[in-house]
Chain A
């Protein structure tokens, strides 16, 4: 949970310079608690297969694998990349709260795998339990079958045990082959875990703080993460509910509203302090509102805002660094506008001499144009900066 801090003043000692020589990100690098998936080491791997419901909505029994999968170094690297692309910092992965810690829960199965350490038979049996639970969670015919990959290993620094379950949906594709010097295409109907992110979902449990033990709260010290491409857009509740809730027993964190507001406050502060011209600043503040208000997204993510709006790599890095320094999660967070809504209602620009301009943010972009212009030179020949405001409408009322 993030600490609350006053809205207006965020400690942002700004010595930034976003053009030319950049010195911002060269300070000390904090080891951030959010770097959950650094130093990822994949241990055991097993796969099983689950199927779509029968026409009469009865379940098809999963096809269980009985042995561990051995991968060479290159394949392990690729698998590691799939996991960090999905759950690592700047990813769409979301940290979730563990709700179900009961005897049948996915969390308990993961915990038991970790507790059984090197016992392969136990690992295989528990991975089958997890697979059975996923199969049973798929209660509509809409949900396709797939391969269930269960992995254990360690993550973080210091390394902590983790277990993850991946549901990978097979999809067709081609591979290149060469026979007698002739290039050929071979069609494969069932590829899985290609970089095509839409076609897998991941749930991961990390025992991040083994020292934290609370009999009332068995999941204390555990962290859970979810990746599902569907929750990044559109209707999160309909989309993958069976996966994150029924199967994994996870819920969106209760502090989402606070985090959303925090995102807004921090990003606004960053934009206000950045060394960019006023027009660009105005554009970015508009973009921030647009980003938060966009109906299409169910999550908010520092990297997405950065990639979409900030433009230069220098500004992107400065922003990411600033958010990390302020301990804002680098993974995606669940968007909840309930606390930030008032702040999004109005945009206000204040000039010297108590002059201000207020407008609804959505009108700002289309109807108001702000430009810095050169003013008239004073008696010393100094040219002041003035502001030219164009409002594409008539005056309606004055007080």
Chain B
């Protein structure tokens, strides 16, 4: 194939590939959004995903000079690509699931052309570049943004952890230059950092798991409050950080599961939900389910809750007032 011919086709099809990568990006984001809720995508994805088309010269360089492809245009799988960077290896699995699900929905065929887990098993003594690479090939009949996506069009999707990403950023442009690869000391240093990254990743996973376990009782209390709140006010409970802060601070004052005292108290004082509803538009704190805990503690342990209250005291004062209690000392 001649360079001119290859470039002409590529230039003509660029908008189609652009549409194709945009389609993938959109579908994967949608799928992730659902599977990680209530965590936000902004938090989950550590580096914004930007689909990138290969530059003309790089395309020619790779398709016709560096590699010996039978069908240079079709066989080049990274004409367009995108990268998902997440925090943990377990997060990588979530992205993989979403991509496999997209295959199930008939959008694309997904083939893993790199799998660091498999590579680790194959070469247990080596610490080198790690990432998951997928090649997604479009199924027939996809139309996106008015463009008819060519059947079989390829797009490369990389999924890495933040640590793997850092390692890759360090090595990508420098290490694979022939000169530097010749230096065993540099390679050794890079291998050592990769080994550290793998160990760090294990610690991260363990820390997250332990944190999650430690936060469970608080989370259960919050879930209980959120349900009561929704039943009582018919309004979706807020999920802001205030909830966590109050639960953290006041957990030892709260009754233990199944929190019968809180339920009984709110049942006896049904007016509390009316008071909350009146304040929804003027007082943020009353949109958060933890306000119910504030009412309970204002009644059951007023001096103690006053002593440790972590948020705006005006809100707690209003809670006391609703219960007919003096607040100021």
Chain A residues at the B interface, C-beta cutoff of 8 Å: 21-22, 25-29, 31, 35-40, 73-74, 77, 80-81, 84-86, 88-91, 155-157, 159, 195, 303, 306-307, 313-314, 316-317, 320-321
Contacts and interface: CB of A to CB of B under 8 A. Distances in A.
Contacts of B278: 73
A25 B300 contact: yes
B268 A317 contact: no
B245 interface: no
B324 A39 contact: yes
B321 A81 contact: yes
Nearest to A315: B303
A212 B244 CA distance: 47
A317 B297 CA distance: 10
13 contacts: A25-B301, A35-B323, A38-B322, A39-B269, A39-B324, A40-B322, A74-B282, A81-B321, A84-B327, A88-B326, A90-B326, A156-B324, A317-B302
A80 B278 CA distance: 13
A37 B318 contact: no
A38 to B, nearest CB: 3
B29 interface: no
Contact of B326 (A28, A89, A159): A89
Contact of A157 (B269, B304, B320): B269
B275 interface: yes
A88 B327 CA distance: 9
Nearest to A37: B324
B326 A317 contact: no
B328 A84 contact: no
B265 A29 contact: yes
Nearest to B256: A26
Chain B, interface size: which category?
35 or more
A28 B264 contact: yes
B328 A195 contact: yes
B328 A157 contact: no
Interface in B296-329: 299-304, 306-307, 317-318, 320-329
B215 to A, nearest CB: 20
B323 A26 contact: no
Nearest to A40: B324
Given A26-B261, A29-B265, A317 B301 contact: yes
Nearest to A195: B328
B317 to A, nearest CB: 6
Interface of B: 252-253, 255, 261, 264-265, 268-271, 275, 278-279, 281-283, 299-304, 306-307, 317-318, 320-329
B321 A31 contact: no
Contact of A313 (B270, B306, B320): B306
A38 B281 CA distance: 22
Contacts of B306: 313
B329 A31 contact: no
B282 A35 contact: no
A84 B326 contact: yes
Contacts, number: 107
A325 B296 CA distance: 17
Contact of B324 (A26, A88, A307): A88
B322 A39 contact: yes
A40 B300 contact: no
A38 B269 contact: yes
B174 to A, nearest CB: 51
Nearest to B270: A157
A37 B282 CA distance: 22
A85 B326 CA distance: 4
A324 to B, nearest CB: 10
A321 B261 CA distance: 15
Nearest to A82: B321
Given A29-B300, A38-B324, A157 B282 contact: no
B324 A73 contact: no
Contacts of A22: 253, 301, 304
B299 A84 contact: no
A314 B297 CA distance: 12
A29 B268 contact: yes
Given A29-B265, A85-B327, A89-B323, 20 more contacts: A25-B300, A26-B300, A27-B261, A28-B261, A28-B264, A29-B264, A38-B324, A39-B322, A77-B318, A80-B318, A80-B322, A84-B320, A90-B302, A157-B269, A157-B271, A307-B329, A313-B301, A313-B303, A317-B300, A321-B300
A84 B268 contact: no
A84 B300 contact: no
Please indicate which of the listed interface residues B299, B317, B326, B328 has the most CB atoms of chain A within 10 Å of its own CB.
B326
A303 B268 CA distance: 24
Contacts of A159: 271
A21 B301 CA distance: 13
A262 B266 CA distance: 31
B324 A81 contact: no
A226 to B, nearest CB: 15
Given A81-B318, A306-B303, A313-B304, A88 B325 contact: yes
A91 to B, nearest CB: 4
A159 B322 CA distance: 12
A25 B324 CA distance: 18
8 nearest A-B pairs in the assembled complex, by CB-CB distance = A38-B324, A37-B324, A316-B303, A91-B326, A313-B303, A313-B304, A84-B321, A39-B271
Contacts of A25: 300-301
Contacts of A86: 326
Contact of A35 (B275, B281, B324): B324
- Among B281, B303, B317, B325, the most chain A Cβ lie within 10 Å of the Cβ of B303
Given A39-B275, A81-B321, A84-B326, A73 B299 contact: no
A88 B321 contact: yes
Contacts of A155: 324
Contacts of A156: 324
A81 B317 contact: yes
B303 A73 contact: no
